[in-house]
Amino acid sequence: MLFGFALWSVVPLDRNVFGREGLRLGLDLAGGSYLVYQGNLSDVEPSNRDEIMDGVKGVVERRINALGITEPIVEVQKHEGEYNIVIQLPGIANIEKAKEMVGLFTILEFREQDAAGNWTPATGTVNNETLTLTSRYFKENTDIAVDQFGKPLLVFEWDETGAQLSKQITTRLLEKQLAIYLGDEPLRGEDGHIIAPVVKAVIEDKGQIEGLSLADATELKDLLNAGRIEVPLGRWVNGEFESSMPLYERTVDATLGADSIRKSIMAAVIGIVLLLVFMLAYYRLPGVVACLSLGIYGTVLLAIFKLVPITLSLPGLAGFIVSLGMAVDANVLIFERTKEELRGGRSLAAAVEAGFSRAWTAIRDSNITTFIACIVLFWLGGTMGAFMVRGFALILFIGVALSMFTAITVTRTFLRLIIGSHVITNPAAYGVASFPAARNMK
């Protein structure tokens, strides 16, 4: 009972502090792009694929960040042996540019400074050919070690060609800097400075980079390992690889998103008003309690969305509204049961208690089936590009779980309080013609 009160006092605060402003909106509501590419890993040993794709992910993130797109989300999804890169870009600026960049391959390039201070590719000559030193020439054992002072070291080995190039370049660049470029952007550390180690010795087949933070070293290791092999992003069509074509693409204009939000809110308001009017007209006093309980339910649910946080997509919004309709169910079950108990000759207080305890098995069993459906949906959503399915399933799950909770705690507390206070004793208020005293006389 106290907990009910606590909830009641906390929730109005929630409404002010975590208003709708703070909810995280999906791309279909806020506008933005959702892209899925397959990685062409035919040149990569199966045992290395996890690691290589992590590196590819790092490469893609860096490219997109370089375009100034805020908060992109890049994920690797492994599905039936295929690796997908899922990219979510909020806002619609630079989408075409982003797609162009994503299609580029993942080789990193070493650059030196010319007399004017510009970074130009570091080249050498092997077999009369001028070659640029790139991540292509690393052996696959680039790794992190720790020196005697506990500082991280990035240790690497060149293959045959790499060793020849490295020898020429590091001889030339002793005590000078060597930067690492991805496309036209230098790699930067966490603090934003360019990663450009000074060459301290002539490096032939083996070398190390000192002075990196552990996070920078780890990321560089992934990038260099991924950069050994070209992993074109695109998609497979009938056994042929099409570079740069996404497997799945969805771009939503922010105006359409805003329109969807406006329409959904209008629909929700109309639906909820209808629902409340029905509950009040049909169940009278318990209906009022149900409405209050529903109000708390809605507010707590929004607070959960905000705090977790859960991304709201359009189907997610629909899930929220549907869960409001379903949240009434537990209340209806309890009230119908209470009415029956009243008609069956129990006192008001006893009828309410019996109503709750008897309705519980039905509430529990019936909601668990909805949970099963949500879990299957969530699992299904992970196997395809349709990110919307998961949003719906997650929100419906949370909504139904919370509705069980509010019905058996909040509604119960309110009803007990009202009955305990003996303020309202008119039987009509509880939806029955008269209290059972008359019947008991027979």
Which residues, 331 to 350, sit near other proteins by CB under 8 A?
332-333, 336, 340
Q: In this chain, which of 87, 101, 209, 252 binds other proteins, going by CB under 8 A?
A: 252
The Cα–Cα gap between 44 and 52 comes to: 8
**CA dist., res. 426 & res. 322, Å (int):** 34
- Interacting positions 18-47 with other proteins (CB under 8 A): 28, 36
Candidate residues 45, 96, 160, 190; the one interacting with other proteins per rule CB under 8 A: 96
Question: Shortest CA distance to 34 belongs to which of 71, 87, 83?
Answer: 87
Least separation in angstroms between residue 126's CB and other proteins is 39
The sign of the torsion formed by the CA atoms of 224, 177, 124, 104 equals positive
Among 120, 141, 357, 383, binds other proteins (CB under 8 A): 383
Give the single-character DSSP code of 432.
Answer: S
- Of 389, 398, 402, 410, the one binding other proteins by CB under 8 A: 389
Structure token digits, residue 206:
């083996």
The single-letter code of the amino acid at 23 is L
Least CB distance to other proteins at residue 248 (A)? 5
Alpha carbon distance 282, 409 (integer Å): 22
Q: Which is nearer to other proteins, 215 or 384 (CB)?
A: 384
**Total binding residues toward other proteins, as defined by CB under 8 A:** 75
| CA-angle at 389, arms to 90 and 380, nearest 5° | 125
Contact with other proteins (CB under 8 A) among 99, 111, 306, 346: 99
Residues 260 to 279: which contact other proteins by CB under 8 A?
260, 263-264, 266-268, 270-272, 274-275, 278-279
Site string for other proteins, 299-328 (x = CB under 8 A): ---------------xx--x--xx-xxx-x
Q: Given the DSSP bridges, would you call strands 73-79 and 143-146 parallel, antiparallel or unpaired?
A: unpaired
CB-CB contact of 438 with 431 (8 Å): no
With CA atoms as reference, report the closest residue to 139 among 198, 206, 187, 204. 206
Q: Among residues 163 and 291, whose Cβ is nearest to other proteins?
A: 291
Residue type, 33: S
353 binds other proteins (CB under 8 A): no
Residues 143-162 binding other proteins (CB under 8 A) are none
Cβ 22 to other proteins shortest distance, Å:
23
Q: Which is closer to other proteins, CB of 267 or CB of 424?
A: 267
